[in-house]
Amino acid sequence: MRVMKGFLFFLGSIFRWPVQNTKKFLILHVYLLGIYGVTFLLKNLGLDASNFVFTVGLIAPIGYLIYNGLPLDCLDYKSAIKRELSSIN
């Protein structure tokens, strides 16, 4: 039951995120479309670096978040609830 509560909380967070942070949501999706576009362009040009660009492009945001201090308890739903409640107030 505990795993289900955490899963449902994070599922709800995914549905709330586009409404709460529209700018970040749009930036993420424009970035992903850009990575797909660059990969598609490189593949059509016949360059073998398209797979590398795609992989680095998808891993780079995770590295950026870790570099900027991604909390170690980011997947613990109790601490996530505390952070969300404190950001509302």
CA 82 to chain centre: 20
Helix (H) or strand (E) holding 2, with range, is helix 2-20
| 75: containing domain | 2-88
Query: Quick one: pLDDT at residue 16?
Result: 80
Does pTM surpass 0.75?
Answer: no
Question: What is the number of structural domains in the chain?
Answer: 1
- In angstroms, rounded to a whole number, what is the distance separating the alpha carbons of residues 76 and 6? 8
Please, what's the largest Cα pairwise distance for the chain? Answer: 53
Q: Across residues 62-81, what is the average pLDDT?
A: 78
> Averaged over 2-31, what is the pLDDT?
81
Residue 39 CB: number of other CB atoms within 10 A?
A: 19
Task: Convert the pLDDT of each residue in 24-69 to its tens digit.
Answer: 889 989 999 999 999 999 999 988 888 999 999 999 988 888 888 8
The alpha carbon of 25 is separated from its chain's Cα centroid by a whole number of angstroms, namely 9
